[in-house]
Homo-oligomer: A and B are copies of this chain.
Amino acid sequence: MKNNVKMARIRSGLTQQQLAEKVGVTRQTISLIEKEKYNPSLKLCLEICYAVHQTLDELFWVEKEDVSDEKS
A31 to B38: give the CA distance in the assembly, Å: 24
A44 to B66: give the CA distance in the assembly, Å: 17
Q: Which chain A residues have a beta carbon within 8 Å of chain B's beta carbons?
A: 1, 3, 39-43, 45-46, 50, 55-57, 60-62, 64
Q: Which residues of B contact A1 (CB under 8 A)?
A: 42-43
Also in contact, A42 and B39, with CB within 8 A (given A50-B64, A60-B56, A61-B55): yes
CB of A60 within 8 A of CB of B42, answer yes
Instruction: Count copies of this chain in the complex.
Output: 2
In the complex, what residue of chain B is closest to A67 when comparing beta carbons? B50
Minimum Cβ distance to chain B for residue A8 (Å) = 15
A42 to B39: give the CA distance in the assembly, Å: 6
